[in-house]
Amino acid sequence: MSRTMHSRAPTGGAALLAVLALATLGAAATALAKSPAKRPWRRAHNPYFHTHASTTDGAVTVNGHTIHYRAVAGMIIVHGPGWNDATGAYGFGQPSPGKAKRVQSEAAMFYVAYFKNGAKPSKRPITFLYNGGPGSASVWLHMGAFGPRRVITADHTQTPPAPYKLVNNEYSLLDASDLVFVDAPGTGFGRVRGPDPAKNFYGADADVHAFSQFIMKFLSKYGRWNSPKYLLGESYGTPRSAMLVNALETRHNIDFNGVILLSAILNFDDSNGIGMARFNPGIGLPYELSLPSFTATAWYHHKLPGGQPPLKPLLARVEHFAMTDYAQALRAGSLLRTSDFDAIAAKLHEYTGLPIGYIEKANLRVTGGEFQHELLAGTDESTGRLDSRFAGPSLNPLGQRAQYDPQSAAISSAYAAAFNDYSRKVLHFGMGLRYKMQIPVWRIWNFEHRQPGVGYALSRALNVMPDLANAIKQDPDLKVMLNGGYFDLATPFYEGIYEMSHLPMERKLQANIQYHYYMSGHMIYVHVPALKQLHANIVAFIDSTDHQQ
């Protein structure tokens, strides 16, 4: 691979002016050294905020065809809400002289873009890809799913330690689209700085503002405004996509051809996967929507008392039970007759493999973490949360719920090593910098969100179903692709089906949505046969929506 570096450096002026300025600069440097309070001005020299890029050449073989590409790894600077690019400060007024040189809140967002050689930009689709968290970099989609190189991990067991193997990714999406892997503010090689960065970047609406800026700047920088455009988000990247496509469409007049959702959650009130349902008594829906995933998991681990019948017909029966008899029982609460309580407990035992006594003690309401811990309790193991095909030793066999995720423990090191090695040796980016795969912003994340048509941010669980519906209504050509794994306990697959079928829009627009499900978990692509199917389905989705046919 060849390497070309592009750096933005200050340009020199006349020699005489440089000489005259030397004494002044020296005095300023001395003053700064003696005055720590003024040191923020020097942060402009922070290596994480250099907007340079590294360009390399490469090739990937997909379906027997070799694709030559140009890879660009770099940074784009964005600012929080209220930034005035005319004044270079927050607010509408001119900054005072004393504040003009101070570093304002800003984020350097790291990205890796892949452009197919010889393709005409206006004819070539471009897809922006990101993971979720919130607080996760895009390393998972990059190195596990759609980049030109893929790290090999064990399918459903612990991956041995280094050295890890990086191979040609025959399922890269470069056969259908140029790709831009975007790391959220503060993750990857990106960083945030300035006063109150949490307020400006770590919240639902602030995050979408940052991503909107990034995409618009990227389209301008690389001349891709007229390309067919797609968003592809995983996990928290799915509510981000719903808010982002609506914001770009309604505020910035940027329509997208399609939105690709992997392991979706659009309404956090529906979630049983993060274990918060127990703090919301009276709401039974999270338990109902997670039940089919419990069944799939028990089926996979051979824990169903009825054996292992065909999975899809079984799930259809469980979905019907969840939305009818089980839902009615949960709504009845303590008014449920004892005979009906016993009958529902017996049915839940049949569909989950959990002991009837445990189900009754849980009052028919088992959270995702409790299910993970209890299903394999006889072996002192817990199942995975992101992918329940995985299992690992329970950290506390006497505990109530799983205290870690066996899948994350099994594969995360491989992704970390693979990308850190790849970025420096292949992309030639990141020497002397630290790559952060995730940052701990969950506890400080501001989930308040201003939905379309609402004049203020709502203080409630995040619900972006109105955003996605509004985007589809305002652009009836917008298509949405929903992808989920049967063994996902973090964002159960049936939750995605339920939320899509309840989008507040007219019934005929439901035809804009595709549904695809796989014998895998939250990270669908960890299971290679599922990755193969996922690749084929996304390629078909892009081919049918880029309007170039």
Q: What CATH number does residue 243 fall under?
A: 3.40.50.1820
Instruction: List helix spans (H) across 253-310.
Output: 285-300
Q: Is 198 helix (H, G, I), strand (E, B) or coil?
A: helix
In this structure, are 115 and 248 located in the same domain?
yes
In this structure, are 93 and 199 located in the same domain?
yes
* Domain annotation covers residue 542: no
How far apart are the C-alpha atoms of 438 and 266, rounded to whole Å?
A: 21
* Domain annotation covers residue 386: yes
- Provide the number of structural domains found in the chain: 2
Q: What is residue 548's predicted lDDT score, i.e. its pLDDT?
A: 63
In this structure, are 399 and 475 located in the same domain?
no
What residues does 143 pair with on adjacent strands? none
* Domain annotation covers residue 548: no
* Domain annotation covers residue 433: yes
**Full pLDDT tens readout for the chain, 549 residues:** 433 333 333 333 333 223 323 333 333 333 333 333 344 434 447 888 888 899 999 999 999 999 999 999 999 999 988 887 877 777 766 655 555 445 578 999 999 999 999 999 999 999 999 999 999 999 999 999 999 999 999 999 999 999 999 999 999 999 999 999 999 999 999 999 988 888 899 999 999 999 999 999 999 999 999 999 999 999 999 999 999 999 999 999 999 999 999 999 999 999 876 566 777 888 899 999 999 999 999 999 999 998 999 999 999 999 999 999 999 999 999 999 999 999 999 999 999 999 999 999 999 999 999 999 999 999 999 999 999 999 999 999 988 888 888 999 999 999 999 999 999 999 999 999 999 999 999 889 999 999 998 888 888 889 999 999 999 999 999 999 999 999 999 999 999 999 999 999 999 999 999 999 999 999 999 999 999 999 999 999 999 998 665
Q: What is residue 355's predicted lDDT score, i.e. its pLDDT?
A: 97
Q: What is residue 274's predicted lDDT score, i.e. its pLDDT?
A: 57
* Domain annotation covers residue 31: no
Q: What is residue 42's predicted lDDT score, i.e. its pLDDT?
A: 42
Q: What is residue 94's predicted lDDT score, i.e. its pLDDT?
A: 60
Q: Are 423 and 415 in contact (CB under 8 A)?
A: no
In this structure, are 396 and 425 located in the same domain?
no
Whether the upstream peptide bond of residue 81 has omega within 30° of 0, thus cis, is: no
Q: What is residue 278's predicted lDDT score, i.e. its pLDDT?
A: 76
Q: Is 522 helix (H, G, I), strand (E, B) or coil?
A: coil
Q: What is residue 7's predicted lDDT score, i.e. its pLDDT?
A: 33
Q: Are 390 and 489 in contact (CB under 8 A)?
A: no
How far apart are the C-alpha atoms of 533 and 517, rounded to whole Å?
A: 9
Select from 403, 434, 457 the last residue of a domain. 403
Residue with tokens 């914001």: 247
How far apart are the C-alpha atoms of 258 and 508, rounded to whole Å?
A: 17
In this structure, are 373 and 233 located in the same domain?
no
For 489, the enclosing helix (H) or strand (E) is none
Whether the upstream peptide bond of residue 134 has omega within 30° of 0, thus cis, is: yes
Q: What is residue 30's predicted lDDT score, i.e. its pLDDT?
A: 38
Q: Residue 369, class by beta-carbon neighbours within 10 Å (0-12 exposed, 13-18 middle, 19+ buried)?
A: buried
Q: What is residue 546's predicted lDDT score, i.e. its pLDDT?
A: 81
Q: Where are the beta strands (DSSP E) in 235-320?
A: 258-262
What residues does 84 pair with on adjacent strands? 89
Q: What is residue 196's predicted lDDT score, i.e. its pLDDT?
A: 83
Q: What is the DSSP letter of 360?
A: H
Q: Domain range for residue 147?
A: 47-269+411-520
Q: For the chain, how far is it from start to end, CA to CA, in angstroms?
A: 33
In this structure, are 326 and 253 located in the same domain?
no
Q: What is residue 273's predicted lDDT score, i.e. its pLDDT?
A: 61
In this structure, are 175 and 260 located in the same domain?
yes
Select from 355, 382, 403 the last residue of a domain. 403
Distance of CA 125 to CAs 14, 221, 542, Å? 45, 16, 8
Distance of CA 216 to CAs 159, 334, 458, Å? 39, 54, 27
Q: What is residue 281's predicted lDDT score, i.e. its pLDDT?
A: 85
* Domain annotation covers residue 61: yes
Give residues with Cβ within 8 angstroms of 275, minimum separation 6: 367, 368, 369, 401
In this structure, are 231 and 87 located in the same domain?
yes
In this structure, are 89 and 185 located in the same domain?
yes
* Domain annotation covers residue 531: no
In this structure, are 378 and 461 located in the same domain?
no
Which of 233, 171, 238, 178 is closest to 535 using CA atoms? Answer: 171
In this structure, are 207 and 175 located in the same domain?
yes
Select from 337, 372, 403 the last residue of a domain. 403
In this structure, are 227 and 296 located in the same domain?
no
* Domain annotation covers residue 92: yes
